[in-house]
Amino acid sequence: MKKLILLMAIFTGLKTYAQTEMPLYTAAVPNSKPAPNKEKAETRDNVTRISKVSVPTLTVYKPANPNGMSVIICPGGGYGILAFDKEGTRVAEEMNKWGITAFVLKYRLPDDTTNIDRSIAPLMDAQQAIRLVRNKATEWGLKKDKIGIMGFSAGGHLASTAATHFSSNADVTNKDTSSVRPDFAVLIYPVISFDSTITHKGSRNNLVGATASAEQIKLYSNELQVTAKTPPSFLVHAGDDGSVVVENSIRYYQACIKYKVSVEMHLYPKGGHGFAMYNKTTTDNWMERLKNWLTTLN
C-alpha cells in the first residue's frame, strides 16, 4: 500500500505542469499573406528549434498553486528560429514551481513570403499575447497588473520592444483598447540595440533587412525608446558574450536609470551566449535572483 501511495504521489508530481496550446488569434492572422504553413521543428543537441512560424500560438503552463502572477516567454533564435524548449517550455516549468502562470509565445518569424510587413509581425504577436492574457485574467485567476514579458536573445529584443512600444497597437486594424503594456520585463542576454556598433546583425537583418533606414534602426533600438513609463526591468548578461555583446544590456540599464525606471541587472564575467537558465561558469543562480526580484513587485 505504501508503495502504491508513493507511486501515485510521483505521477501526481509529473502532472504538475498542465499545458494547453491555443491559437493567438481567433480569426485570421493579421498582417499575413496567403501562404502554406511551412513550420518545421527539429531537435538536436537537446534543443528543439522551430522555424518558419507563420501561425502564432500561446502555450499555457499552469502551476499547482498559482499566485496570480503571469509571464509571457519569448524564446530566442535571431528572429530566424525559436529555441522553443531551452528558452521557453523549460523556463515555464521552472516558473510554475514559483506559483507563476507561464505562457510560451510561438511568435511569427519575419518572412516576406508570409508577412505583409515583416518588421511588425513579432511585436503584433507579443502585444496580442499581452492583450489576450489581460482580457482573460479574471477567468484564469490572474492579476491584471502582474502580467510580465520575458525574452532571451532576439526574444529579449521582442520583449524589450513590447516594454517600450506599448503606446499604440502594432496592429492598426485592432480596435481593442486594452493596455498592451507589460507590468514588468525580464531580459536575458537580450538584443536591445540595432546600432551597428553593438547590434546582433543577424537579428537586425532578419527583422528590418540589411538596408534598413536610419529611422527603422532608431525605432528598434530600444535603449532609445525607454521612457518614465517603461515597466520595471530585470537583465542578465555575460561579459564574454560574443554573439550579443553586453553593451546591449548596459545601454538599456543606463536608459532605465536616466528615466528613473526600476531596474536590476546581473552581469557575469563568463557564460557566453545562450546559457538559458544555467550559466555553468558560476555557482550563482540568476533564476534565484529573478525569483527574489519578482517578490519585490508584489
> Which DSSP letter does residue 89 get?
I
Query: Would you say residue 1 lies in a domain?
Result: no
Query: Would you say residue 95 lies in a domain?
Result: yes
Q: Which residue range is the domain that position 259 belongs to?
A: 17-295
Confidence of residue 19 (pLDDT cuts 50, 70, 90): confident
Query: Would you say residue 245 lies in a domain?
Result: yes
Of 193, 212, 202, 196, give the one whose Cα is nearest residue 243: 202
Query: Would you say residue 240 lies in a domain?
Result: yes
Check: pTM over 0.85? Answer yes or no.
Answer: yes
Q: How many domains does the chain have?
A: 1
Query: Would you say residue 2 lies in a domain?
Result: no
At residue 79, the pLDDT reads 99
Do residues 171 and 127 lie in contact, with contact meaning Cβ atoms separated by under 8 Å? yes
Using alpha carbons only, give the angle 122, 125, 128 rounded to the nearest 5 degrees. Answer: 150
Query: Would you say residue 241 lies in a domain?
Result: yes
Torsion of CA 67, 130, 231, 241, to 10 degrees: 100
Query: Would you say residue 102 lies in a domain?
Result: yes
Query: Would you say residue 279 lies in a domain?
Result: yes
At residue 77, the pLDDT reads 98
Q: Give the CATH number for residue 215.
A: 3.40.50.1820
Confidence of residue 14 (pLDDT cuts 50, 70, 90): very low
Dump pLDDT digits (tens) for 186-231.
Answer: 999 999 999 999 999 999 999 999 999 999 999 999 999 999 999 9
